[in-house]
Amino acid sequence: MTASVGRTSWPALGVVVAAAALAPLVFTDFFVSVILTKSLWLGVAAASLIFLSAYGGMVSLAQVGIYGVAGMTFANLVVADGGAAAAWSPWIATIAAIVVAVAVGLFFGVIAARSVGIYFLMITLAFSVLVYYFFSQVTQLSGFGGVNNPDLPSLVGQPGQDPAPLYYTTLVVAVLVFLGLRYVSRAPFGLALQGLRDEPARMRALGFNVTRHRILAFTLAAFIAAVAGVLSVWYNGRIAPGSINLAQTIDILIIAVIGGLYRLEGAWVGALTYALLDNYSREWTPTVGDVLGAERFNTILGVVFLIIVLLSPGGLVGLWERVRGLGGRGPGPPGEVAREPAPAEAAK
Amino acid sequence: MSGSSQTPLDPAAGGVTDARGATAAEEAVEARAAGAPRRWTVTRVALGLVAAVVVVWLVVKASEDLRQFAVVSLNGITLAALFFVVASGFTLIFGLMRVVNMAHGSLYLLGGYLALEMQDSWFKEEVGGLGISLAGEAGAEYDLVGWLVPLVLATLIIGVLGVIMQQVFLRWNQGQDLRQALITIALSVIFADQMLAAFGGISKDIKTPTDWPESIALPGDVRFGFFRGVIVLGAAVLIGLLLWWLITRTRFGKIVRAGVDDREMVSALGINVQLVFAAAFFLGAVLAGLGGVLGGTMISLAPGEDTSFLLNSLIVVIIGGMGSLAGAAIGALALGLVDAYGDVYLVFGDTDLTNYSILLTFALLVAVLAVRPLGLFGRPA
């Protein structure tokens, strides 16, 4: 496997971010909130998965579990309907939520990082589902119908009335996450991580502590997932066990796979595709008995996911690269270093 | 690393596999540098202490109410029996083909639903004309055939479905384990949604034959459910023995064991590996479907049970070691007992912690992985 470090195309990134910044002027509030803001925070969650997968070779399904811990912690610490309602300031609650989730992530990492490949996938999946069962059982923390209407920082205002402040906040966070992960992936830490992905034995011979490095990478991804978890509560205005269940775990995985498990920008490409499908596929889905119809969004999603896994393991980004003849033959990460910007992001 | 000739699917050689598996596992655990053993001794001592506390706590609880303890233990063991039936199929498929079948839970649930549909539409004998609108069991009777025929048919259909899944989606990308896992995840999403559409969201269950007793009397004035205690437990023991016989005593088992160790070599010897793979997938799916019928009768069928049994199978094989039948048995027993005890005994004075019982399951998983990252009987792939 070739290292999948691409050069950040600054002009392209600039154009995408500028377009995204102007989006609220062009699109309706509905579109800004339901499509764009949602894609941005889902993309952050998917980016934590893609970072681990692309640079560490670890496909972690625990990311939703970790973001669930962050979201639940935040929702319980601020004033809210249901949950512990500890009435902390939203900013302090945000920091506390991230700290708690990162600690949980560190613990998960210590247990899981010694396993590799498919074992790692299974163990992290078990973690995620256990987090879900934990919150569905412990109603003191999750309320009976979830924790609703949490107090949000004044920065994001009232997302229900004016989505723009939350949108810009999420956009800034997403850009910072993208640049941060990009930077880490090319810093010595990230290069060593890619070395561990490809040649663990050699890296150990070179004196690297393989497991510790993997744990640190996992913890960093947990931090990103925690940020996404807090954002998800800001966006939804609620969190319930049902929003961190296996279906959500799989949705984040689907987003990552649709975008391409090997490219960081794929996270947002996948998230945008997912949000668009989620909203508009219901309108054009023909009704075929019980099998298809507006209610059967998950079937559509599953089929799209299946087709992408079968046809293009590199996801949409991989497909794009293949169309451009830049590599991405067969399974595995697209071999060549791609110099293209995230194409679908420009669609914003 | 593949120096060991013991196969993880060989329950008879459990002890040996254990000892050798340990060395292999240690090789595989890449982080275990030279200086590490002392730290691991501390971990082991700590785990030993925890285990001792758990045993003392159970003894205290048992001495308070021996009858309750017996029932709770039986609950755990019968739950374990069901977990074993389902997880043995999961581990069989993984052991031979390295395919993690994430749709295993879906096959479980679909098996149950199919049997329920057949029972409802073919074998329901209404008694008392007005009983229909009341709760189902009041107005209907079922005979033994009305339970067995759906069981066999549903199980076989699931087996065939498993083979189709393997042939259409998995056969041509053998060896790409991540991709195969993703494919089965996609299938499970579709299955779950289609089952919701076809069977609705309400919890249902398969009825036992009307002339079967509700419960049986055990020594010490303990009563326990007949279906749970006799049928499910009996089925699990029977299936365990059959699988053991199949794996250790037949030509098919020999090929499977050889295939686990070295697929290419088996193929080079002129054995049609593809046929064996299809057979193994059939068997694995059959076990999921059978589990679904048993579970659908013992517990219930509802959306979400597929997740629940996927998680159970995952935990069982993570604890027991992927691909090991003996590991599946021990893992199922551990998970079943922890579930059962945790649901009842997490009460300390006035503090009722039973809704935190999932943390015990998590602790079990962590404890095993801390000492043996590949599970109790696991070996590196």
pLDDT of residue B24: 41
Contact yes or no for B193 and A299 at CB 8 A: yes
Helical spans, DSSP H, in B98-176: 104-122, 136-139, 145-165
Residue B303 tokens, joined:
């959306």
Please report, as a single letter, which amino acid is at residue B31. A
* Confidence bin at B212 (pLDDT 50/70/90): confident
pLDDT in tens, B172-199: 888 788 889 999 999 999 999 999 999 9
Cβ contact (<8 Å) for A305 and B186?
yes
Q: Is residue B23 part of a domain?
A: yes
Is residue B49, in this structure, part of any structural domain at all? Answer: no
Map residue A218 onto helix, strand or coil.
helix
Query: A10-347 adopts what CATH topology?
Result: ABC transporter involved in vitamin B12 uptake, BtuC (1.10.3470)
Task: Name the residue among A253, A290, A301 with its Cβ closest to that of B198.
Answer: A290
What average pLDDT does the segment B32-45 reach?
58
Our CA-based measurement puts residue B370 at a distance from the nearest CA of chain A, in whole angstroms, of: 6
Closest CA to A229 of A60, A39, A75: A75
Number of domains chain B contains: 1
CB pairs under 8 A between A and B: 135
SS3 state at A152:
coil
Pick the more confident residue, A140 or B158: B158
Q: Would residue B324 count as lying in a domain?
A: yes
pTM: 0.84
Judged by CB atoms closer than 8 Å, whether chains meet at B193 and A302 is answered as: yes
User: Within a domain: residue B5?
Assistant: no
CB pair distance less than 8 Å for B373 and A309: no
* Structural domain for B353, as ranges: 11-30+65-371
Question: H-helix or E-strand containing B347?
Answer: strand B347-348
A89 has a chain B CB within 8 A of its CB: no
* Residue A6 binned pLDDT confidence (cut-offs 50, 70, 90): low
Is residue B40 situated within a structural domain? Answer: no
ipTM of the complex as predicted: 0.84
Better-predicted residue by pLDDT, A131 or A330: A131
Ranges of each domain in chain A: 10-347
Calculate what percentage of chain B has a pLDDT beyond 70.
Answer: 85
Nearest to A102 by CA among A221, A183, A241, A193: A221
**pLDDT score of B131:** 45
Q: How many residues does chain A have?
A: 348
Chain B contact set for A119 (CB, 8 A): 318, 322, 373-374
Q: Which of A176, A156, A159, A173 lies closest to A34, judged by CA?
A: A159
For residue B249, give every residue at least 6 positions away whose Cβ sits within 8 Å of its Cβ, in sequence order, or none.
none
Residues of A in Cβ contact (< 8 Å) with B179: 309, 313, 331
Report the distance separating Cα B359 and Cα A129, nearest Å.
Answer: 12
**Closest CA in chain B for residue A288:** B197
**Which residues in chain A are contacts of B183 at CB distance < 8 A?**
306, 309-310
Confidence class for position B31, pLDDT limits 50, 70, 90 = very low
- Residue given tokens 């939203």 in the structure block: A90
For residue range A200-217, list pLDDT tens digits in order: 889 999 999 999 999 999
Q: Please, what is the average pLDDT of chain A?
A: 84
* Band of residue B168 on the pLDDT scale cut at 50, 70, 90: very high
Give the residue on A whose Cα is nearest the Cα of B199: A290
CATH code of B138's domain? 1.10.3470
- Report in angstroms the alpha-carbon separations of A75 from A231, A238, B216: 11, 8, 49
pLDDT tens profile B228-263: 888 999 999 999 999 999 988 999 888 888 877 777
Token duo for residue B228? 């749970």
Cα–Cα distance measured from residue B159 to residue B99, given in angstroms and rounded to the nearest whole number: 16
pLDDT at B20: 36
